[in-house]
Amino acid sequence: ASRAALPLVLSPAVLAAAVTVEDVGDADSFGKNVTYLGIAQSIGITLTDDCTGTDPLVERCTVQNAAPAFTTVIENDLAVINLPPKATKTLMCFTLTPSIFVDWANFTGSQQMARFNATALISIENPVLADPALVDPATGLPFNGVLEIGLTTWHHLQTMPDNSQEQERSMQTRSCIAGLISRRVLVDDYGLTDAQAKEFFKKAMSVRFGARVTAAMSQYTNYFYGVRLYGD
């Protein structure tokens, strides 16, 4: 009798079973194809001395504090990606590119410290997280259906002499590594059971994008970012 031929290509499930976390760091996604989940661009955040005539649908403008005081702004719902059920299996990855423009200026009469910090604020809405028994370890409170994640995208600190001015423009890309969220992180870091973590990725979910921006010694600051999500 002839021996049945072995499959030439192993399935992703067989490949994943053949490796461990100790081998590859992320056994769940090992050997799987990438699935592109969507792209979004946030509404821009502007800090300046006068917001007259600005449109909040185009930019979120804030009148900043007088130098040398710093101004911090938190804006939500700058963009959203709505994912259908089972859009990805065990992982949600990202590529995020912020666009930054700062017009630094010091006319205060003395040396000052200029600063700019920007963090992308990402909220994942998922019905599995509505279970009141699930508690966010970062806050000690129930998730209430939402997982909050902050991604630092830029930090700048410099000394500015009096009567000085300069402009800074930057675009830097930050990419996935451990991802926005994964099945393993849901269990190990957020306290979900294996069954809850699997159910999490079977549900439809909305990913909302916001930002926190802090600036000092700037005449004009503008910040926004583009983001692409992908999974397995």
Check whether 2 has a pLDDT greater than 60.
no
Helix (H, G, I), strand (E, B) or coil at 163: coil
pTM for the model stands at 0.88
Residue 226's pLDDT is what? 98
Give the pLDDT confidence score for residue 6 in this predicted structure. Answer: 45
What's the pLDDT score for residue 17?
60
Whether 14 shows a pLDDT value over 70: the answer reads: no
Residue 192 has a pLDDT of 96
- pLDDT of 8 above 60: no
Mean pLDDT along residues 102-118 = 97
Residue reference for tokens 């991802």: 179
| Residue 207 CA neighbour count, 13 Å, CB half | 25
Average pLDDT over residues 29-50: 94
pLDDT score for 155: 93
pLDDT at 150 over 90: yes
Strand partners, 135: 142
**In this structure, are residues 114 and 216 in contact, taking their beta carbons and an 8 Å threshold?**
yes
Rounded Cα–Cα distance for residues 181 and 186 (Å): 7
Separation between Cα atoms, residue 31 and residue 147, nearest integer Å: 27
Q: Are 122 and 207 in contact (CB under 8 A)?
A: yes
153 CB-contact burial (10 Å; exposed 0-12 / middle 13-18 / buried 19+): buried
Taking alpha carbons only, the member of 160, 172, 169, 152 closest to residue 220 is 169
Q: Before 68, cis peptide (omega within 30)?
A: yes
Q: What is the mean pLDDT of the chain?
A: 91
pLDDT one-digit tens code per residue, 55-74? 999 999 999 999 999 999 99
**DSSP output for 34-75:** PEEEEEEEPPEEEEES--TT--TTTEEEEEPPPTTS-EEEEE
Query: What is each CA distance from 215 to 15, 69, 92, 114, 162, in whole angstroms?
Result: 48, 9, 31, 8, 18
124 or 177, higher pLDDT: 124
**pLDDT > 80? residue 144:** yes
* Maximal C-alpha separation, the chain: 94
Structure tokens at 226: 């583009």
The enclosing H or E element of 20 equals none
Q: Which two tokens stand for residue 101?
A: 């423009």
